[in-house]
């Protein structure tokens, strides 16, 4: 039986989702693809659990949540962290789920480069290194002859990168326009349905765990702008970075503006526009009842093609297990290609 030995770097919400997804699906993957997934290391920001013979995915989650870090994992918990984890164990694939850093792209950038240098494949949910250095990172993977997949970096469980490349492979992509941030969509949806002001709705979203304690990346459009860059590079071949995107968030949207739009049959949504001529994230008016009329944390994207016309995709844009599902799909793609 072939093995795929996995390191999970980053063990917050998404990292724990990866562990849970592997626990749920490894038997199916073994039966269907003839490959046994084995998590040989998992690491948070300061600790890890490492065992060459494999770790128990659900015990990893329990150890993290009961004791605060992975050093609590029975017998195999360690103080090893960061790049050192990649030297501490033999592995085949890095699943990288550290927090997005739009300033330096670290630690994702260094972890990814090191894995490439070691000849290992990488699957990521991270946006920072892709938004800042897409061409360099993808080029480095090609130079080293390794696989690099990043479906989960845009839209969580919403299929878009793999879907467009594979299912729409006969088509030229002219533009992509959509709602790429679930937190802002939730806030604007609640403001529209309840007439509540922005600050109160944001606070409610934070209490529900939908918005972060520091919501800046979401509400100021930074997260959606990162995803705009990734789509521009990966699907339209535009050599762009975060600095090329015109960005405006939703923090200045008032309940009065939303009410006024509603009287005319419109909603206000944070819309990302991706084309060879335009990279933009901003609040826009969209018609009620249109494809952009989504509530909650859903994401959507309208893909304008030359042969198939407009194709619209929709899905959950965030969530632990949902994002992990996209990452595990990328893993399966690599298994089918290389094992």
Q: Per-residue pLDDT tens for 285-304?
A: 999 999 999 999 999 999 99
Alpha-carbon gap, residue 179 to 199, rounded angstroms: 21
pLDDT digits (tens, 9 = 90+) for 223-233: 999 999 999 99
309 assigned binding-site residue: no
15 assigned binding-site residue: yes
Does residue 198 surpass a pLDDT of 90? Answer: yes
* pLDDT, mean over the chain: 96
One domain for residues 211 and 242: yes
What is the mean pLDDT of the segment spanning 74-88? Answer: 97
**Is 192 inside a domain boundary?**
yes
Burial (0-12, 13-18, 19+ Cβ within 10 Å), 160: buried
pTM score, two decimals?
Answer: 0.95
One domain for residues 152 and 173: no
At residue 15 the predicted structure's pLDDT band, cuts being 50, 70 and 90, is very high
One domain for residues 309 and 328: no
Nearest CA to 157 among 182, 137, 175? 182
212 assigned binding-site residue: yes
One domain for residues 131 and 233: no
Do 11 and 42 form a contact (C-beta atoms < 8 A)?
yes
Range of the domain at 305: 169-316
**Is 97 inside a domain boundary?**
yes
**Is 98 inside a domain boundary?**
yes
pLDDT digits (tens, 9 = 90+) for 233-285: 999 999 999 999 999 999 999 999 999 999 999 999 999 999 999 999 999 99
**Domain of 136: which CATH number?**
3.40.50.720
One domain for residues 123 and 206: no
What is the mean pLDDT of the segment spanning 171-195? Answer: 96
**Is 162 inside a domain boundary?**
no
Alpha-carbon gap, residue 215 to 271, rounded angstroms: 18
One domain for residues 209 and 142: no
**Is 242 inside a domain boundary?**
yes
Q: Among this protein's residues, is 288 annotated catalytic? A: no
What was the pLDDT predicted at 102?
Answer: 93
What was the pLDDT predicted at 122?
Answer: 98
Catalytic residue among 227, 269, 276, 288: 227
What was the pLDDT predicted at 317?
Answer: 86
Question: In the chain, what percentage of residues exceed pLDDT 70?
Answer: 100
Which SS3 state, helix, strand or coil, does residue 254 take? coil
182 assigned binding-site residue: no
One domain for residues 74 and 200: no
142 assigned binding-site residue: no
What was the pLDDT predicted at 319?
Answer: 86
Number of domains in the chain: 2
**Is 201 inside a domain boundary?**
yes
At residue 209 the predicted structure's pLDDT band, cuts being 50, 70 and 90, is confident
What was the pLDDT predicted at 62?
Answer: 97
One domain for residues 211 and 117: no
One domain for residues 327 and 294: no
One domain for residues 308 and 326: no
**Domain of 311: which CATH number?**
3.30.360.10
**Is 99 inside a domain boundary?**
yes
One domain for residues 40 and 142: yes
């Amino acid at each position: 039986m072939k093995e795929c030995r996995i390191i999970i770097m980053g063990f917050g919400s998404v990292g724990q989702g990866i562990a849970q997804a592997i626990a749920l699906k490894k038997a199916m993957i073994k039966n269907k693809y003839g490959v046994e997934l084995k998590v040989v290391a998992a690491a948070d920001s300061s600790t890890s659990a490492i065992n060459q013979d494999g770790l128990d995915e659900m015990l990893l989650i329990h150890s993290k949540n009961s004791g605060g870090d992975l050093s609590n994992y029975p017998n195999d918990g360690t103080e090893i962290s960061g790049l050192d984890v990649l030297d501490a164990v033999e592995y085949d694939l890095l699943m990288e789920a550290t927090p997005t850093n739009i300033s330096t792209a670290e630690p994702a950038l260094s972890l990814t480069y090191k894995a490439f240098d070691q000849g290992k494949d990488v699957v990521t949910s991270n946006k920072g290194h892709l938004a800042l250095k897409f061409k360099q990172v993808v080029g480095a993977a090609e130079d080293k002859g390794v696989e690099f997949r990043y479906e989960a970096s845009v839209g969580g469980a919403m299929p878009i990168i793999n879907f467009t490349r594979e299912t729409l492979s006969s088509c030229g992509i002219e533009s992509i326009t959509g709602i790429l941030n679930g937190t802002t969509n939730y806030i604007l949806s609640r403001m529209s349905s309840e007439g509540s002001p922005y600050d109160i709705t944001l606070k409610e979203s934070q209490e529900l765990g939908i918005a972060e304690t520091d919501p800046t990346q979401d509400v100021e459009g930074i997260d959606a702008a990162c995803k705009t860059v990734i789509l521009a590079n990966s699907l339209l071949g535009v050599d762009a970075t975060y600095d090329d995107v015109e960005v405006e968030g939703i923090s200045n949207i008032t309940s009065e503006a939303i009410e006024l739009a509603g009287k005319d049959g419109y909603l206000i949504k944070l819309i990302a526009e991706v084309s060879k001529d335009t990279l933009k994230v901003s609040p826009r008016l969209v018609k009620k009842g249109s494809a952009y009329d989504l509530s909650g944390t859903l994401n959507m994207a309208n893909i304008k093609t030359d042969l198939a016309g407009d194709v619209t995709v929709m899905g959950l844009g965030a969530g632990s297990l949902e994002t992990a599902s996209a990452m595990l799909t990328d893993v399966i793609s690599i298994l089918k290609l290389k094992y």
